[in-house]
Amino acid sequence: QVQLVESGGGLVQAGGSLRLSCAASGSLFKIDHMGWYRQAPGKQRELVARIHKGGSTNYVGSVKGRFTITISRDTAKYTAFLQMNRLKPEDTAVYYCNARGEEVVSGIPRWDYWGQGTQVTVSS
């Protein structure tokens, strides 16, 4: 099992910054990549940013140039960070950390773990 603990959400004015953290512990060998998803009220959950084991990153178009995902690793813990700059009201959502393995079975990741979610609210 992999445990994910998130922190760093909150309320910020438009144009401000926040940094989210996600600490992963447990069976770290299962993790191929970590990422952040978000879900706004009435909308589907969407991928915001993802970082792979080799260091490559992916971002949804609306956050490119504003958000940066990084990861630190030690033997006991992986911590993924999402630095969010120049925040906009449309970034308001619950942000979820995700850790996922590489193996897929019948189209479903064999190992797929989620954090509890942290609220980010950007006021105009």
pLDDT in tens, the chain (124 residues): 999 999 999 999 999 999 999 999 999 989 999 999 999 999 999 999 999 988 999 999 999 999 999 999 988 999 999 999 999 999 999 999 999 998 889 998 889 999 999 999 999 9
Q: What are phi and psi of 53, to 5 degrees?
A: -55, -35
Distance CA 91, CA 88 (A): 5
Longest Cα–Cα distance of the chain, Å, equals: 44
Q: Residue 36: its pLDDT value, please?
A: 98
Please count the other Cβ atoms lying within 10 Å of the Cβ belonging to residue 89: 11
Q: Residue 24: its pLDDT value, please?
A: 96
> E strand or H helix at 33, and its extent?
strand 33-39
Q: Residue 53: its pLDDT value, please?
A: 87
Give whole-number Cα distances, 25 to 39, 49, 119, in Å.
24, 20, 22
Q: Residue 15: its pLDDT value, please?
A: 98
